[in-house]
């Protein structure tokens, strides 16, 4: 969490191997990203990272299911397996009925859920989400957060950028940034303690 310009999106881009840090190191699953070539970073993103972008980054000429299968197919997953996993992810996000629609034929909230399905499809070690519920009503936003939380509970690490305290409450730890520096951090005993403080 932090004000605009505090470095939240830059941090996600560095964690997601989209940008290279000026100093320090980033290690994902024991792999130091600075030791990877651009092709190696792209391979790591396809295999291990799920990224929910603020502007969705869906490919307009592909249907929803094709957008979601893309990272799996680029990593040479069999087409039938990729489609099955993509349909499961779309179903988890409540948009399986949009599988054959193109992004231009969807609302902003529908596009956002398809983008989240693409981020969680397959086996992901790290989920990065930049304002993943920005275009959603609170009920749908909570459903999306539930899917992301479930993936984290199943073993993935997750980093969420949000301006909303109620969404930050889904996290085990909240870090506050200002001008690229950590100004405060809160760690919770467990996610369950947030839901049932007794």
∠ at Cα 160 (12, 193), nearest 5°? 150
Distance of CA 105 to the CA centre of its chain: 23
The residue written with tokens 């984290």 in the block is 152
Please give the pLDDT value at position 45.
87
Which whole number is the average pLDDT over 14-42? 88
Per the model's pLDDT, the better-predicted residue between 136 and 121 turns out to be 121
pLDDT > 90 in the chain, percent? 40
Place 195 in a pLDDT band, splitting at 50, 70 and 90.
very low
Place 193 in a pLDDT band, splitting at 50, 70 and 90.
very low
Count of positions (residues) in the chain: 198
- Looking at domain 8-195, its CATH class is alpha beta
pLDDT of 163 over the 70 cut? yes
pLDDT of 141 over the 90 cut? no
pLDDT in tens, 55-89: 889 999 999 999 999 989 988 999 999 999 999 99
The residue written with tokens 């249907």 in the block is 63
Please give the pLDDT value at position 104.
96
As a dihedral over the C-alpha atoms of residue 103, residue 105, residue 110, residue 114, rounded to 10 degrees, the angle is -30
Place 188 in a pLDDT band, splitting at 50, 70 and 90.
low
């Amino acid at each position: 969490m932090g004000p605009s310009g505090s470095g939240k999106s830059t941090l996600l881009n560095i964690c997601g191997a989209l940008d290279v840090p000026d100093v320090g190191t980033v290690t994902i699953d024991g792999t130091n990203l600075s030791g990877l070539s651009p092709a190696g970073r792209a391979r790591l993103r396809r295999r291990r990272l799920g990224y929910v972008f603020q502007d969705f980054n869906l490919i307009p000429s592909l249907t929803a299911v094709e957008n979601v299968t893309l990272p799996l197919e680029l990593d040479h997953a069999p087409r039938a397996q990729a489609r099955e996993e993509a349909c499961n992810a779309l179903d988890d996000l409540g948009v399986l009925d949009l599988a054959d629609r193109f992004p231009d034929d969807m609302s902003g909230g529908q596009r956002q859920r398809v983008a989240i399905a693409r981020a969680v499809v397959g086996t992901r070690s790290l989920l990065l989400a930049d304002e993943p519920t920005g275009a959603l009503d609170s009920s749908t936003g909570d459903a999306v957060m539930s899917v992301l939380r479930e993936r984290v509970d199943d073993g993935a690490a997750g980093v969420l950028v949000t301006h909303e305290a109620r969404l930050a409450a889904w996290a085990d730890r909240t870090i506050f940034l200002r001008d690229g520096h950590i100004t405060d951090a809160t760690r919770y005993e467990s996610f369950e303690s947030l839901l049932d403080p007794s």
